Structure formats: C-alpha cells, structure tokens
Amino acid sequence: MFLAEEAAAEASRFDVFDLFIFAFTLLILFGLIRLAAAPQKNKFAIGFAMISLLVFLFVDYLIVRNWLGLL
C-alpha cells in the first residue's frame, strides 16, 4: 500500500499550469527582444521586462527541479 501511494505522489509532480508559465516566459522574452530592437527605447519597459523575465526564469528553474524530484 505504501508503494502505491509513493508511485501516485511521483506521478503528480507535473501540473498543466507549468506549461502556462513556460509560455509566459517565452512571451516575455519575445517582448523584451522587440523592446530592445525598437528604434525608440523605453528604458522603464525594458527594465520591467528584464526583471519579469528573471523572475519567470527562476520559477521555470524551480518547476524543472520539482519535476526531477530535487525540490
């Protein structure tokens, strides 16, 4: 019985919300690239996008560590 509970806990590490986090990370990265390539630079928007990207990359790192069972 204990092994069945352990196997069920292992299978539940993945969540569908994780895919949304990865999609938002790619969207923020795409927006940051477009902001940096724009002829008229908006420094506040670039800074905000960089901080947002760093936060989402850290969350992605935590998600992958959770998938691997290291968290």
Q: What is the pLDDT of residues 8-46, one digit of tens each?
A: 666 678 899 999 999 999 999 999 999 999 999 999 999
| Domain presence at residue 1 | no
| Domain presence at residue 29 | yes
Whole-number Å distance between alpha carbons of 7 and 27: 34
Residue 40 structural domain: 14-68
Q: What's the number of domains the chain is made of?
A: 1
| Domain presence at residue 4 | no
Whole-number Å distance between alpha carbons of 2 and 7: 9
Predicted local confidence at residue 6, as pLDDT: 66
pTM of the model: 0.80
| Domain presence at residue 3 | no
